[in-house]
Chains A and B, each alone.
Chain A
Amino acid sequence: MLKEEVKRGVITENPILILALGLCPSLAVSTSVTNGLGMGLATMFVLVCSNIIISIIKGWVPDKVRIPCFIMVSAAFVSILHLFIKAYMPLLDQRLGIFIPLITVNCIILGRAEAFASKNSLSRSFTDGIVMGLGFTVSLLILSAIREFLGSNKLFDLMVIPKFQPLTAFALAPGGFFTIAFVMGVVSFLRSRKEARA
């Protein structure tokens, strides 16, 4: 059952490439693989925790204040995570500086909270949190690998090809858009081929 769930999260309902959720951090942070990994795991942690809490308190929160409460829950987890990273992982904090607070408003968390956690039981929202977080991290890694290699000729901050002069545009804003467009194009190509065969 879990394998099927993971497949759903990573492939069929991948948050970035298919649902087009959580684009802001994925483009901003994917300039290096270590950043991407750090951001992916941080988002996964916050997503899972907020999914759990929201599925617990969903019945109890009056409908009028539903949105403020749900966002606040995820904001709380982000602040806790932010303090935790500042205290124990200063290097990561230096790199992901502005992007950690942005996790709260990352459309995935509120998207999943609204669409999924507020309607399903705790265990299902927990798995959904993990699965969506995994999908987010995987696609983030793909994006950042491409951008880091093309943009600054590095992978995990180690040089890759000696004489290759990197195209710095890929490390900048336009590169982000082009990379995600390219990856989405490939994904939709594979999907249409699979549908054609099925």
Chain B
Amino acid sequence: MNSFMSIVQIALAAVLIQNFVLARFLGLCPFFGVSKKLSSATGMGMAVVFVMTIASMFTWVVERYILVPFDIRYLEIIVFILIIASLVQLLELIMRKFTPSLYESLGIYLPLISTNCALFAVVIINTGTNQFTGRPFTFIESTINGTASGIGFLIALVLMAGIREKLELADVPKTLDGLPIAFISAGLMALAFLGFSGLSFFAASGGQ
């Protein structure tokens, strides 16, 4: 029961409380780049969820069975970067071969994701300690965290795309047109997401 609760709490935290884009400022470059159109935003969001899940699994295994036993945790940054970049390229090839239709819709975003700070950050967080149980992430927990962070990114991206499409029609002052107004709407969304900060199910923090 206990591990199930922590999984739900992790998912909740990654999607709402510490949303990747709106609370932790991660993944902003693609976030503002792709959120112009709803279709490209959903495509990018899906691709990010997909890649984050696989990357979390992969890096957790490497961390647990290679980095820790050899006590070379300081190499973490390099090994993870290598894994993520090559993984994205590998995924692109695999998708192009086996799922061309999926590749058509997500393919163009894959190279964009390989340099995405959110992806790298979720991997680093997975190696840290799970704030709800105090122990390091287990395999399931780190995968769920990857997926949930991806979903958080997707939600923020889709919301943002919806807003920006409406913004096209509003008469925005000339100097604020383009990126500044996008930042302001992101700021307002971050303010809204701040409301989730006190949220925590089951026991209050530190209950265990």
Contacts and interface: CB of A to CB of B under 8 A. Distances in A.
Given A24-B29, A181-B184, A104 B77 contact: yes
Interface in B68-125: 74-78, 81-82, 85-86, 89, 111, 114-117, 119-121, 124
Interface stretch (B5-13, B132-140, B174-182): B174-182
A72 to B, nearest CB: 6
B201 interface: no
Interface string A159-198: 0000000000100111111101110111011001000000
B4 to A, nearest CB: 28
A178 B78 CA distance: 34
Interface of A is mostly: helix
B29 to A, nearest CB: 4
Given A107-B29, A181-B180, A98 B186 contact: no
Given A67-B89, A79-B74, A104-B77, A177 B120 contact: no
Contacts of B76: 101
Interface residues of B, number: 46
Interface in A62-114: 64-65, 67-68, 71-72, 75-76, 78-79, 82-83, 98, 101-102, 104-107, 110
A177 B190 contact: yes
Contacts of A67: 85, 89, 111, 114-115
A104 B175 contact: no
A101 B120 contact: yes
Contacts of A24: 25-29, 117
Contact of A185 (B32, B85, B180): B180
A21 interface: yes
A178 B111 CA distance: 30
Contact of A104 (B23, B28, B81, B176): B81
Contacts of B26: 24, 28, 102
Nearest 7 CB-CB pairings of A with B: A177-B187, A181-B183, A23-B28, A68-B85, A189-B175, A28-B25, A75-B81
Interface of B: 22-29, 32-33, 74-78, 81-82, 85-86, 89, 111, 114-117, 119-121, 124, 174-181, 183-184, 186-188, 190-191, 193-194
Given A67-B114, A173-B190, A176-B25, 6 more contacts: A72-B81, A105-B81, A169-B191, A173-B24, A184-B180, A185-B175
